[in-house]
Amino acid sequence: MEINLLFAIDQRFVRQLKTTLYSIQKNSSATTYNVYLLHPEETTFDEELTVFCQLLGMNYYPLKMDRATLFAQAPVTERYPEIIYYRLLAHQFLPDHLEKILYLDADILCINDVVELYQMEMGDHLYAAASHTHLTNVTNVINKIRLKTYEAEGYYNSGVLLMNLKQIRKVVKAEDIFTFIENNRLNLLLPDQDILNGLYGDQFIAVSDFLFNYDVRKSAVYETTSLGKWDVNYLIEETVFLHFCGKSKPWDETYKGKFATLYKHYQHKATQLENNLNVTRQKTR
C-alpha cells in the first residue's frame, strides 16, 4: 500500500513536520510513503528532512516554489502570504502521474491508521475533508452566507485534505483563485480555507472530524454531543488525526492542553531517532 503525503511549510515548522511524519509512520500500515513538501525556494532544510525521512523509511520529494513564475501574479500581503497558495495550486507542481495525495498541516498528530481515509473512493469529487462547524450550527450558516456557498454541506477545514488530483487538474485554475480573492477580500477570514470552500465547497466529500480531523480544543464538546460515547478511550482506539488548531500549540512550553503529553511524547521520540543517528555517526568516525 502506497500513500502520498503533502505538506507546505517554511523554516519555522521543520521540527513539527518531523513529529507529524514520525507519528504517521509508527501508527499506519502503508508499506510506502512518498512525502512531497512545497516550500519557499530560499529554505535550507531539504538535506535535513531527506535524512529524517530515510530514518523512517519514507521517500522525500522537495518542491521549491519559484516566486518569479506563477505567484508573480498572486495578490500577496501580510494577511495573505505566498505560502497560502501552495496547497491550493499543488496539482500544478506535483508529478503528473500522481492521482491522489493527502495534504496535512504540520500541527497534526496521527494516532491510528490513515489507510482507511486514503483508500476512500472519491469519484468526481475534488476533495474529502471534515467540517468542524457542525458543533456550532450558527457559525456554519454565517460561513455559507459570507462565502455564498449555499449548496455546500458544510464549511470544511483544510488542515486534513484528501485531494483527487486527477479531477482537480481539470477544475481548479489559478486565475479563478486569484479572481475570487480580488472579489472577496473583505470577506476572507481564513484565506486558503475560505477560498477552497467558496469556490469548491459543493465538490467535497464530508468525513468525520472526530475520526479524521479532531479539534483538540473541543474535546468536551465532542464528548457531550455524543452523550459520552466519544470519550478519551474511544478516541485512542478510533481517531486517526488530532489537530492542534488555534494559536496555542503543543510544542510551546506554556501549552496546557489535554493532549500536551501525548504530543510531547511523539516529539521526543522523533528527536531521539535523530540523536541516535548522530551518536552512531560519531562512533564510526
For the chain, percent of residues with pLDDT exceeding 90: 71
The rounded distance, in Å, linking the Cα atoms of 140 and 253 is 33
Q: Which three cell numbers, joined as nine digits, stand for 275?
A: 540523536
- How many Å is the Cα radius of gyration of the chain? 19
- 163 phi/psi in degrees, rounded to 5: -110, 125
What residues form DSSP beta bridges with 37?
A: 7, 62
For 103-139, the pLDDT digits (tens) are 999 999 999 999 999 999 999 999 999 997 555 554 5
Q: What is the pLDDT of residue 38?
A: 95
Tally: H helices and E strands in the chain:
12, 10
Pairing assessment for the beta strands 214-215 and 241-243 based on DSSP bridges: parallel
> What DSSP letter does each residue of 15-55 carry, written as one string?
HHHHHHHHHHHHH---SEEEEEEEEETT---HHHHHHHHHH
The rounded distance, in Å, linking the Cα atoms of 233 and 181 is 43
Give the domain CATH number at 153: 3.90.550.10
For 16-47, the pLDDT digits (tens) are 999 999 999 999 999 999 999 999 888 899 99
In the predicted structure, residue 8 carries a pLDDT above the cut 90: yes
Q: What is the pLDDT of residue 277?
A: 76
Q: What is the pLDDT of residue 65?
A: 87
Give yes or no for a contact between 90 and 6, defined as CB atoms under 8 angstroms apart: yes
Q: What is the pLDDT of residue 181?
A: 84
| Count of the separate structural domains present in the chain | 1
The rounded distance, in Å, linking the Cα atoms of 142 and 225 is 21
Burial 208-221 (b: 16+ CB within 10 A, else e): ebbbbbbbbebbee
**Considering only CA atoms, which of 250, 168, 181 is closest in space to residue 216?**
250
In the predicted structure, residue 94 carries a pLDDT above the cut 70: yes
Supply the range of the domain harboring residue 270.
2-283
How large is the average pLDDT for residues 159-171? 98
Q: What is the pLDDT of residue 81?
A: 76
For 50-74, the pLDDT digits (tens) are 999 999 999 999 999 876 666 776 7
Give yes or no for a contact between 7 and 37, defined as CB atoms under 8 angstroms apart: yes
For 224-271, the pLDDT digits (tens) are 999 999 999 999 999 999 999 989 999 999 998 999 999 999 999 999
